[in-house]
């Protein structure tokens, strides 16, 4: 009997090694599964805790991603326990499910939004107190899952001009633009800030249509603009450009509000608007390293010949919002206050001109 065992070992010298290898694989399968589950729970929890304000103020899609990730993490921990009891299913499950889960982890980390600054949050919190912003009369703010609606607090005493539908930059908390847009509203121009899914305006280019309809349903009749502009910051400006290209000519022939203008903050279009009748404002900064002065210059041919170009010396990309520094951006050489004042002034002047006869 001993001789037979020795003979089997000699005939299959790798059998013992193979068994050890399989045992090693099976022992690490549950561990790796548990670690992946913990990573899912950790990332989802960390993102929710550190971005809670931005989650509450943005489109719910990213929150859904985090909930799904948390549930997957919980499921992985349960699965890791079961793998210890069913060793033959370990490697088979791991090879099928690990990759998409890891990809979801990467996406969840990447999609974390830039949260709005304290001033922007403060403006929204004080919006029910007319005159508390140091402006002319305060603003009304209504937040829904799809958009922020802003109008003068007392539309009866404020002359209502052209409205603006605004698309945020990629992954930026939509509330971060209230700091700059509140004075625009105070000047008599209602604003709707859309909340794009997952923070990418290109995922909902047609959001302006629903934004205008929602504003009409929400506001007083005397606060409804006759004309609208669409606009946006960075990638949001690209989405706004696409919408303007599609909607301007069609809306022109229809009763009610229609799109006549485009406002680009540190942005430029992906397609040519040169042959349209749109009035366009382009505001950019010389210290912007994400939408560079060279890119603005190269894209001028995509815009109408009478486009208003406003270049702010020393302004960078993040100063077009109120969300802190942004990786890869240039170093601003002017203060946030000065940059924002010039951005706001240019925007108000442009919207005022949209009410003038063509």
> In this predicted structure, which of 56-70, 156-170, 196-210, 257-271 has the lowest mean pLDDT?
156-170
Range of the domain at 191: 118-354
User: Are 265 and 293 members of one domain?
Assistant: yes
| Residue 203, CA distances (Å) to 196, 198, 240, 248 in order | 7, 8, 12, 20
Segment 196-215 shows an average pLDDT of 95
Of the pLDDT bands very low, low, confident and very high (cuts 50, 70, 90), residue 272 is: very high
Residues pairing with 16 in the sheet:
none
Q: Over the range 155-194, which residues count as b (16 or more CB within 10 Å of their CB) and which as e?
A: beebebbbbbbbbbbbbbbbbbbbbbbbbbbbbbbbbbbb
In which order are the strands placed within the sheet that holds 191-194?
Answer: 139-143, 147-152, 191-194, 163-167, 227-233, 258-265, 279-285, 308-312
Of the pLDDT bands very low, low, confident and very high (cuts 50, 70, 90), residue 88 is: low
Out of 29-33, 223-227, 255-259, 274-278, the most confident range is: 274-278
Q: What is the pLDDT of residue 21?
A: 46
Of 290 and 81, the structure prediction assigns the larger pLDDT to 290
> In this predicted structure, which of 132-136, 221-225, 346-350 has the lowest mean pLDDT?
132-136
pLDDT tens, position by position, 333-350: 999 999 999 999 999 999
User: Are 102 and 126 members of one domain?
Assistant: no
Q: What is the pLDDT of residue 135?
A: 41
User: Are 97 and 243 members of one domain?
Assistant: no
For the chain, how many structural domains are there in total? 2
Supply φ then ψ for residue 270, to 5 degrees. Answer: -90, -25
Q: What is the pLDDT of residue 322?
A: 97
Single residue among 77, 94, 110 that ends a domain in this structure: 110
Of the pLDDT bands very low, low, confident and very high (cuts 50, 70, 90), residue 33 is: confident
Distance CA(81)–CA(84), nearest Å, equals: 6
User: Are 91 and 129 members of one domain?
Assistant: no
Of the pLDDT bands very low, low, confident and very high (cuts 50, 70, 90), residue 82 is: confident
Confidence (pTM):
0.85
Single residue among 110, 139, 162 that ends a domain in this structure: 110
């Amino acid at each position: 009997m001993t001789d037979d065992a020795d003979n089997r070992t000699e005939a299959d010298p790798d059998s013992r090694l193979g068994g050890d290898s399989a045992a090693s694989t099976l022992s690490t399968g549950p561990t790796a599964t548990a670690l992946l589950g913990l990573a899912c729970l950790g990332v989802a929890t960390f993102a929710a805790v550190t971005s809670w304000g931005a989650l509450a103020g943005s489109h719910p899609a990213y929150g859904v991603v985090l909930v799904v990730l948390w549930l997957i993490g919980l499921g992985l921990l349960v699965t890791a326990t079961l793998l210890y009891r069913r060793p033959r299913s370990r490697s088979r499950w791991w090879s099928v499910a690990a990759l998409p889960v890891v990809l979801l982890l990467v996406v969840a980390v990447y999609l974390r939004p830039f949260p709005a600054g304290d001033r922007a949050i403060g403006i929204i919190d004080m919006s029910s107190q007319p005159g508390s912003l140091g402006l002319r009369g305060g603003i009304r703010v209504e937040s829904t899952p799809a958009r922020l609606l802003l109008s003068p607090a007392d539309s009866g005493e404020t002359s209502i001009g052209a409205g603006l539908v605004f698309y945020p930059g990629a992954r930026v908390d939509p509330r971060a633009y209230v700091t700059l847009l509140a004075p625009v509203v105070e000047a008599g121009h209602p604003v709707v800030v859309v909340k794009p899914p997952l923070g990418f305006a290109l995922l909902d280019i047609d959001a302006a249509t629903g934004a205008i309809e929602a504003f009409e349903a929400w506001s007083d009749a005397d606060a409804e603009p006759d004309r609208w502009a669409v606009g946006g910051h960075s990638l949001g400006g690209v989405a706004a450009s696409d919408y303007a290209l599609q909607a301007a000519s069609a809306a022109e022939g229809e009763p009610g509000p229609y799109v006549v203008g485009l406002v680009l903050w540190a942005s430029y279009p992906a397609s040519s608007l040169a042959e349209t009748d749109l009035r366009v404002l382009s505001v950019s900064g010389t210290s912007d390293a994400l939408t560079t002065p060279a890119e603005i210059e190269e894209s001028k041919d995509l815009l109408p010949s009478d486009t208003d170009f406003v270049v702010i010396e020393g302004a960078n990309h993040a100063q077009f919002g109120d969300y802190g520094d942004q990786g890869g951006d240039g170093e601003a050489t002017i203060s946030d206050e000065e940059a924002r004042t010039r951005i706001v002034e240019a925007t108000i002047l442009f919207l005022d001109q949209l009410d003038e006869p063509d």
